[in-house]
Amino acid sequence: MAVKIRLQRHGKKNFAFFHIVVADSRSPRDGRFIEQLGSYNPNTNPATIILDADKALAWLNVGAQPTLTARRILSYEGVLLRKHLQEGVAKGALTQAQADAKFAEWKAGKDQKVNAKISGLKNEKIEKARAAKAAEAKVNEARAEAIAKKKAEAEEAARKAAEEAAAAAAAEEAQAENAEA
């Protein structure tokens, strides 16, 4: 029986998430499986991966073959590195303590990269909000200036109309006086 570590699709259309499972290669993609190892949600940024690394390593050691996507996920989580280091320990190339130290060093670097990405995304979101707020303030200022300008023009037009009306009334009055005389 050929055993595969692969993804099982769940979720709705255009919003899928996946279970990482160990299954017989002849069973359908979303069909029967032997054991569930974790889940993978590509909809979040960065993608959320929940994986039982010890179970995955045990299945790899007994010959389970991961699919390409599952291999990338296992590599991202460090399962393939642990398998490689364990093979080195078995061959006598390094001790268990050295292998554990190498893996801990790799894991610390990986966690640092992930945290940097998360904080970078958070900072980017804050900067976008600040830029949007500044743009909105600029637009509001321009609108306030336009309203003030229209109001000043309307007052000027009203003042000129009043002056013209007063001048016309004075001219009418003068004509009336000339007509009486």
Q: Tell the CATH topology of 3-94.
A: S16 Ribosomal Protein; Chain: A; (3.30.1320)
16 phi and psi, to 5 degrees?
-85, 150
Q: How do the domains of the chain map onto residue ranges?
A: 3-94, 95-169
Show the tokens assigned to 132: 């949007």
CB-neighbour burial class of residue 35 (10 A; exposed 0-12, middle 13-18, buried 19+): middle
Q: Which residue has better confidence, 97 or 31?
A: 97
Each residue's pLDDT tens digit, 48-61: 999 999 999 999 99
Kindly report the pTM of this predicted structure. Answer: 0.69
